[in-house]
Amino acid sequence: MTERTLIKDLSARPDGPVTVGGWVETVRDQKKVQFVVLRDESGALQLVNPATREIDEATASDTEGAAAASAALALTESISGLSLGTFIEVAGELKHDERVKLGGLEVKVGTLDVAGVSLPEAPIAADSSLDKRLDYRWLDLRQPKNALIFRIQTTLEHAWRTWWVENGFVEIHTPKLMESPSESRAELFQLDYFELGTAYLAQSPQHFKQMAQAAGFGKVFEISPVFRADPSFTSRHATEFISVDAEISWIDSYEDVMSMQEQLLAAGFAAVKEKHGDEIRELFGIEVEVPQVPFPRLPLAEVHKVLKEARGYTVPREDGDLDPEGERQISAYVKGEFGHDFVFVTDYPTGIRPYYHMRDAETGLTKSYDLIYNGTEITTGAQREHRIDELLANAVDKGLDPAGIGEYLEFFKYGIPPHGGFGMGLARVLMLLLGEQSIRETTLLFRGPTRLAP
Q: What residues form the annotated binding site for L-aspartate?
A: 183, 228, 380, 384
CA distances from 7 to 3, 113, 147, 351 (A): 13, 17, 15, 56
Query: Which residues have C-beta within 8 Å of that of residue 61, sequence separation ≥ 6?
Result: none
Range list of H helices, 398-425: 406-410
Q: Is 191 helix (H, G, I), strand (E, B) or coil?
A: strand
CA distances from 371 to 129, 297, 298, 374, 382 (A): 31, 9, 10, 10, 11
Q: Are 347 and 364 in contact (CB under 8 A)?
A: no
Q: Are 195 and 366 in contact (CB under 8 A)?
A: no
**Of 164, 152, 360, 154, which Cα lies nearest the Cα of 261?**
164
Query: Which residues have C-beta within 8 Å of that of residue 309, sequence separation ≥ 6?
Result: none
Instruction: Measure the CA–CA gap between 272 and 321, rounded to whole angstroms.
Output: 32
Sheet holding 368-373, edge to edge: 170-171, 219-227, 240-249, 419-425, 376-383, 368-373, 342-346, 297-299
What residue ranges in 276-389 does DSSP mark as E strands?
Answer: 297-299, 342-346, 368-373, 376-383
Task: List binding-site positions.
Answer: 183, 228, 377, 380, 384, 425-428
**Of 374, 393, 385, which Cα lies nearest the Cα of 437?**
374
Q: CA quadruple 50, 53, 57, 62: dihedral positive or negative? A: positive
Burial class of 440 by CB neighbour count within 10 A (0 to 12, 13 to 18, 19+):
buried
**Of 172, 176, 173, which Cα lies nearest the Cα of 193?**
176
Task: List binding-site positions for ATP.
Answer: 377, 425-428
β pairing state of 16-29 and 87-96: antiparallel
Q: Please give the full DSSP string across 163-179, using - where no structure is assigned.
A: HHHHTT-EE----SEES
Torsion of CA 317, 318, 320, 326, to 10 degrees: 20
